């Protein structure tokens, strides 16, 4: 009876069983919290310098473009060099960028372009290292614990989303911008120390001395050649591109709740609370082996919850719908990430991870843009309901046409896919070349 109750909560086996994963989790959690604090500081400082929404909008340009451009390049680096070395170098770059942000704030910089340039440098380093970092859990954990490890990482991210902005507000109010950026720099030092402690993680076939190899051909095409991979990514893209609601929050708040700022903030908080709750109760989900069905179902619930949000009248009902959407999003993200890592041969993981990363970055941004355009031509309610139902239909189409994704099962407990066999990689290379 006690065993049954335990699996309903967060599965902490990865933290208890792997010192390396524990180090990675601590470092990643620290960098996520520091990043959230720095994001608020950058937003506030740019507004202080420009007093213009165009200026604050430029932050998106300084972060979005490097994420896409350098994220793809990072995939090639991850399949060429020792992945630990790639993350070490890019984390060092993020630390230097954080130090630069702190220095410009101490110098009372009044040039917004310098500030945005430092933001772009930090984001570029993060994007270069993201594909390699995404491959770490599958190399450090048994196959049946990969989803649990990703759930733990997602919980720390959601917690940083909640706590980071509040901490940033307190730090900036008391000690101003330099202290906020210094906090990020300290967090990046913690992240660097954690990465240094990890074992070497060379791609399969890398030279033992230098950790460098010539990447297998067909690294990008493997996504299209494997139904489980393109189906999982198409499910995520359908959910975010067609039903992303954040850009509509101010309009919904204006129309239904009189533009009260006290109701706008809880919209985002409700999504995060739902995500954290799902993460804390993810033990059951991460032990289910039918990862494809879990992702498809969770993505469908996301679309349905946002369609209901478009129709919800009372504030409590609207927040409830957003919390359900946040919970469904967490389940979908965790199962998708585990599936992608487990289904991709090690020789291709860097490049496939970069595709997943770009979809994860670009999908929500384009989805917000789509939702705003449709709402400007119709209404917020129509955009939300139409988007949510369209996402459900698109996800149903993926489920109907992709039997391998529906049938996908995670590896059993004995499997630890740290270094797939050469024969398996060669066979895959023949399929995708």
Which token pair is 95? 């630390």
- Determine the Cα angle at 166 with ends 165 and 172, to 5°: 85
Task: List the single range of 33-42, 142-151, 174-183 with lowest mean pLDDT.
Answer: 142-151
User: pLDDT higher for 224 or 321?
Assistant: 321
Contact present, 135 and 349 (Cβ < 8 Å): yes
Nearest to 228 by CA among 103, 348, 402, 47: 402
Contact present, 186 and 315 (Cβ < 8 Å): no
Q: Note the pTM of the prediction, 2 decimals.
A: 0.75
* pLDDT tens readout for residues 331-388: 998 889 889 888 888 888 888 888 888 888 778 878 877 888 888 888 889 999 999 9
Q: What share of the chain is helix, strand, coil (3-state, %, to 5)?
A: 80, 0, 20
- Determine the Cα angle at 15 with ends 348 and 414, to 5°: 60
* pLDDT tens readout for residues 79-100: 889 999 999 999 999 999 999 9
- Determine the Cα angle at 329 with ends 324 and 56, to 5°: 100
Q: Cα(395)–Cα(383) distance, rounded to whole angstroms?
A: 18
**Average pLDDT in the 4-29 region?**
83
What percent of the chain has pLDDT above 70? 88
pLDDT (0 to 100) of residue 285 = 72
Task: Count CA within 13 A, CB hemisphere, residue 33.
Answer: 19
SS3 339: helix
User: pLDDT higher for 241 or 413?
Assistant: 241
Q: Is 71 left (phi over 0), alpha (psi -120 to 50) or beta?
A: alpha
pLDDT (0 to 100) of residue 216 = 62
* pLDDT tens readout for residues 52-68: 767 776 777 788 788 88
Contact present, 308 and 136 (Cβ < 8 Å): no
Q: How far apart are the first and last CA of the chain?
A: 51
* pLDDT tens readout for residues 224-233: 889 999 999 9
Q: Cα(395)–Cα(113) distance, rounded to whole angstroms?
A: 42
* pLDDT tens readout for residues 119-129: 999 999 999 99
pLDDT (0 to 100) of residue 43 = 84
Sequence-separated (6 or more) residues with CB below 8 Å from residue 343: 226, 228, 229, 232, 408
Confidence band of 34 (pLDDT split at 50, 70, 90): very high
Question: pLDDT averaged over the chain?
Answer: 84
Query: What are the C-alpha distances in Å from 400 to residues 79, 186, 231, 404, 411?
Result: 33, 48, 11, 10, 23
pLDDT (0 to 100) of residue 406 = 93
Domains of the chain, CATH where assigned: 11-200 (1.20.1250.20), 221-414 (1.20.1250.20)
Nearest to 350 by CA among 197, 157, 211, 208: 211
* pLDDT tens readout for residues 204-249: 765 555 545 566 666 668 888 899 999 999 999 999 989 988 778 8
- The continuous run of DSSP H or E covering 53 comes out as helix 53-78
Distance of CA 375 to the CA centre of its chain: 26
* pLDDT tens readout for residues 268-293: 778 888 988 888 887 767 677 788 99
Q: Cα(67)–Cα(72) distance, rounded to whole angstroms?
A: 8
* pLDDT tens readout for residues 171-188: 998 999 999 999 999 999
């Amino acid at each position: 009876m006690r065993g049954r109750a335990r699996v309903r909560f967060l599965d902490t086996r990865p933290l208890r069983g792997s010192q390396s994963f524990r180090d990675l989790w601590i470092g990643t959690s620290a960098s996520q919290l520091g990043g959230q604090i720095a994001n608020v500081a950058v937003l506030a400082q740019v507004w202080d310098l420009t007093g213009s929404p165009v200026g604050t909008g430029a932050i998106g340009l300084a972060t979005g473009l490097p994420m896409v451009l350098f994220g793809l390049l990072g995939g090639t680096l991850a399949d060429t060099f020792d992945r630990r070395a790639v993350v070490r170098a890019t984390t060092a770059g993020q630390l230097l960028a954080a130090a630069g942000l702190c220095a410009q704030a101490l110098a009372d910089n009044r040039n917004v372009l310098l500030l945005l340039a430092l933001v772009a440098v930090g984001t570029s380093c993060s994007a270069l290292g993201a594909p390699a970092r995404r491959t770490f859990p599958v190399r450090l954990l048994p196959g049946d614990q990969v989803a649990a490890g990703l759930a733990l990482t997602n919980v720390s991210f959601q917690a940083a989303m909640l706590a980071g902005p509040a901490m940033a507000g307190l730090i900036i109010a008391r000690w101003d911008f330099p202290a906020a950026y210094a906090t990020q720099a300290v967090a990046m030092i913690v992240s660097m120390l954690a990465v240094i402690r990890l074992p070497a993680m060379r791609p399969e076939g890398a030279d033992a001395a230098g950790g460098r190899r010539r990447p297998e051909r067909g690294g990008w095409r493997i996504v299209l050649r494997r139904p489980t991979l393109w189906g999982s990514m198409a499910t995520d893209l359908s959910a975010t591109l067609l039903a992303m609601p954040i850009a509509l929050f101010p309009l919904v708040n204006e129309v239904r709740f009189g533009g009260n700022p006290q109701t706008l903030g809880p919209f985002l908080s409700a999504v995060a609370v739902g995500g954290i709750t799902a993460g804390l109760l993810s033990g059951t989900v991460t032990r289910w082996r039918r990862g494809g069905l879990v992702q498809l179902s969770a993505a469908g619930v996301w679309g349905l919850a946002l369609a209901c949000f478009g129709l919800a009248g009372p504030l409590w009902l609207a927040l409830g719908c957003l919390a359900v959407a946040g919970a469904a999003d967490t389940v979908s993200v965790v199962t998708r990430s585990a599936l992608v890592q487990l289904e991709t041969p090690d020789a291709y993981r860097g490049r496939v991870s970069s595709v997943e990363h770009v979809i994860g970055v670009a999908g929500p941004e384009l989805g917000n843009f789509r939702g705003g355009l449709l709402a400007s031509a119709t209404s917020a309610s129509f955009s939300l309901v139409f988007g949510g139902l369209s996402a459900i239909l698109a996800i149903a189409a993926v489920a109907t046409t992709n039997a391998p994704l529906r049938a996908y099962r995670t590896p059993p407990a004995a499997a630890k896919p740290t270094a797939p066999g050469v024969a398996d990689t060669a066979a895959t290379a023949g399929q995708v070349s």
